[in-house]
Amino acid sequence: MYDIPPSMKSNNKWDPDASTVKPGNNPDSSTILIVEDEVDLRDMIRESLEQAGYRTLDAGCVADARRLLEQHQPDLVLLDWMLPDTTGISWLRQIRRNGRFKNLPVIMLTARGEVSDRVTGLDSGADDYLVKPFSLNELQARIRTRLRQQDAPSEETSVEIGGILLDSGTHRVTVETDEVDVGPTEFRLLRHFMDHPDRVYSRSQLLDSVWGQQVFIEERTVDVHIRRLRKALEPVGKAGLIQTVRGAGYRFSTRGR
C-alpha cells in the first residue's frame, strides 16, 4: 500500500481529479506502460493518464512488464525502482542493451531521492526521474516533454538495424559493403521505419510522418514506395524486413512475421 503523506492529502496533490490536463489532448493516444508494484499509486497514475487521453498498460513486476513491452511496444515507460522480482534499474539496463528499445523513453519513479541514486538512474539509461511523492500534474508534464522529444526528428545521423546501415549525413544506405540504391522518398520511409522498429504504421500514419500532413497524396502511393523500397533491399537480402501487417499497414522488423 502506498502511504500517502497527510500533507499531500490536504492539498490534493495525489488526487487525479485535481489534474488540470484535459482529456483528449493527446491526439496520437500514446501508450504508456506503468510498472509499479504499489497498487494504489499505480491505479492513481493510470486513472490520471487515461483521463488525459493516453492508453495505458500496467504491471506490478518486471516479468509482466517485459511481456507487455514485447507485445505492445508502448511509447513510454514509467518505471518504479523497487519491484518485487528484479529492480527497475536492472531491467532498464537490459532494455537499453536491446537495440529495439534503445530509444524508448523511460521515466523512473522512486522513493529514493539521494543524489547518488539519481545519477545511477540516469547512468542506467533513464530519460527522467521523479521522486515520490510527486504531483500527477508534474508527471504528466514530464511525459508530454518526453513524447514531444520522441516525435522530433532523430538527432542521430546514422542508424543500424538488422545489418542495414542508414546514414542521413551522407544519405547512403549500406549493407556490409554493398550500397543500396534508394530514392529520396524511400530513404525517408526507411529512416522512419528504422527510427521506430517493430511498430506498425497505417498508410495514413506513414503519409503524415514521411510525406507531411499538408501534402495531399492518395494512400496507395504509400504502397508504391513500399514496393520500391523492398525492390531496392532485395539484392542485399533485406526486403523481408519491410513487412505487411494485414488490415493494419506496414512495419520494419528484424523478426519473422
> Which residues make up the interface to Ca ion (CB under 5 A)?
37, 80, 82
Q: Pick between residue 65 and residue 180 the one whose CB is nearest to Ca ion.
A: 65
- C-beta closer to Ca ion: residue 42 or 196: 42
235, 177 Cβ separation under 8 angstroms: no
CB of 80 to Ca ion, least distance (A): 4
Smallest distance from Ca ion to CB 79, Å: 10
- If the CB atoms of residues 4 and 82 are measured against Ca ion, the closer one turns out to be 82
Closest CA to 88 of 25, 130, 50, 140: 130
Whose Cβ is closer to Ca ion: residue 37's or residue 167's? 37
Q: Residue 257 CB, nearest distance to Ca ion (Å)?
A: 37
Cα dihedral angle (81, 155, 143, 8), rounded to 10 degrees? 60
Percentages helix, strand, coil for the chain (3-state, rounded to 5) are 45, 20, 40
Give the nearest distance from C-beta 60 to Ca ion in angstroms: 9
Look at residue 219 and give its three-state secondary structure. coil
* Residue (82 or 130) nearer to Ca ion, CB: 82
Strand pairing class (178-180; 172-175): antiparallel
The residue type at 1: M
Q: Grid coordinates standing for 62?
A: 518486471
CB of 16 to Ca ion, least distance (A): 19
The H or E element spanning position 224 is helix 220-233
Listed residue (215, 226, 153) closest to 186, CA to CA: 226
Q: How far is the CB of 219 from Ca ion (least distance, A)?
A: 45
Q: Using CB positions, name the residue nearest to Ca ion.
A: 82
Question: What ranges make up the beta strands (E) of 132-181?
Answer: 158-161, 164-167, 172-175, 178-180
**What 3-state class would DSSP assign to 216?**
coil
Kindly state the smallest distance separating residue 56's Cβ from Ca ion, in Å: 18
111 versus 224: smaller Cβ distance to Ca ion? 111
Residue number, 27 or 84, with CB nearest to Ca ion: 84
